[in-house]
Amino acid sequence: MNKLDREEREILEAFESGNVKRSKDAADIRKRHREYAEAMFTENTRINIRLASKDLRGLQSKALAEGIPYQVLIASILHKYVEGQLHEKGS
């Protein structure tokens, strides 16, 4: 096993002692990540688009926070828009 840092050891100890509790929104998170995974493994078509650097950095930052590749986030956003699941504020 690799050496664990302090935070990783604390997490492992909490898990092993039964002190880790499931997040209240665990089901929603699991569903969202399952959708991300399904989007990754469906047969896709490659496209090239131009984005403003600022927008790309914003997308990359949000994807990093979600723990997914930014291309998957972009595909997910586009899919939700096409399916009518993504709306502008106030709509």
Annotated domain spans of the chain:
27-91
Task: Answer whether 0.75 is exceeded by the pTM.
Answer: no
**pLDDT band per the 50, 70, 90 thresholds, residue 91:** low
Q: Does pLDDT of 44 surpass 80?
A: no
Task: For residues 69 and 36, give the distance between their C-alpha atoms in angstroms, rounded to a whole number.
Answer: 10
Task: For residues 88 and 91, give the distance between their C-alpha atoms in angstroms, rounded to a whole number.
Answer: 6
Q: What average pLDDT does the structure give for the chain?
A: 87
List of residues 6+ apart from 83 with CB closer than 8 A:
none
